[in-house]
Amino acid sequence: MKRITVYAVVVSSLLSGNVFSQTINWKSLDKEQRHIVNINAGAEYGTTLGAGYGYHLKSKMPIVLNVEYSFPTGEKLFDDFKTKIGGYVRLYQVNNFQFSAKIQGVFRRYENSLATLVNFGSDMTGIVGYYKSKWFIAGEAGFDKAIVTHFKHSTVYKQNFPTVKDGWYEPATGGNFYYGLQTGYSFRRNDIYLKVGKVVSQDFNTSPSLPYYLQIGYNVRL
């Protein structure tokens, strides 16, 4: 039981920063604007910094392909990180009300005194809101899943659990649900946005040590 609890703490730490991603005001995104450059900062478990790039496809249904990179601040920058690659699509629109979805593959690394983890996972988000050319407000809900994780246990961990084996662990090793609000202001070719919300573990019985998230981001549309 103690070993399972330790694994739960490690995986929960791995999934920190899961909500931080680029946000788009679909109403202000013109058809000829193909490139979206993003920087962001947020708080969840600690301070996280990130950057992203999106490419607006020439398609009937608005689709943005994107790649994102983020890392927590600390003594060693860039030792822990998270990358995402996927797509953002507006599925439905009724006047100013719009529904969109984001599906991304996730690759991340996390290290603490117990283990070094490398993980492949997925992140899926649904967003519904009211959008104007100058501003928007929307609700979001999503699920971040750690599908397969490689554990390299520390010497300290092996001293307490000498039979532990390094290697890939599957099936899925953990996940978090998240939900919240996002709002933003758009001017010229720029967007400034704010996201706030809550994170809950997939069993719905436990929450991270800091179960809330906050993110501020800035987009330039080119």
Mean pLDDT of the region 189-214:
86
Distance from C-alpha of 200 to C-alpha of 214, rounded to nearest angstrom: 15
Question: 10-22 pLDDT, tens per residue?
Answer: 555 555 555 667 8
- pLDDT, position 13: 55
pLDDT tens sequence across 133-186:
999 999 999 999 989 999 999 999 999 899 989 999 876 567 889 999 999 999
pTM given for the model: 0.88
Instruction: Give the alpha-carbon dihedral of 131, 67, 18, 182, to 10 degrees.
Output: -10
Cβ of 87: how many Cβ atoms within 10 Å?
15
The pLDDT score that the predictor gives to residue 46 is 75
Question: CA-based angle 76:82:87, to the nearest 5?
Answer: 155
Quote the pLDDT of residue 174.
79
Q: How many CB atoms lie within 10 A of CB 71?
A: 20
CATH number at residue 176: 2.40.128
Q: Given this model, what pLDDT does residue 134 score?
A: 98
Total domain count for the chain? Answer: 1
pLDDT surpassing 60 at residue 8 = no
Q: Which domain holds residue 11?
A: 2-221
Strand-pair category, 212-221 with 174-187: unpaired
5 in helix, strand or coil? Answer: helix
pLDDT tens digits for 99-135?
999 999 999 998 888 899 999 999 999 999 999 999 9
Query: Which has more pLDDT, 96 or 113?
Result: 96
Compute the radius of gyration of the chain from its Cα atoms.
Answer: 18
Question: How does pLDDT run across 84-93, given as a tens digit for each residue?
Answer: 999 999 999 9
- Give the pLDDT band (50/70/90) at residue 217: very high
Question: Closest Cα to residue 77, out of 109, 52, 118?
Answer: 109
Write down the pLDDT at residue 86. 97
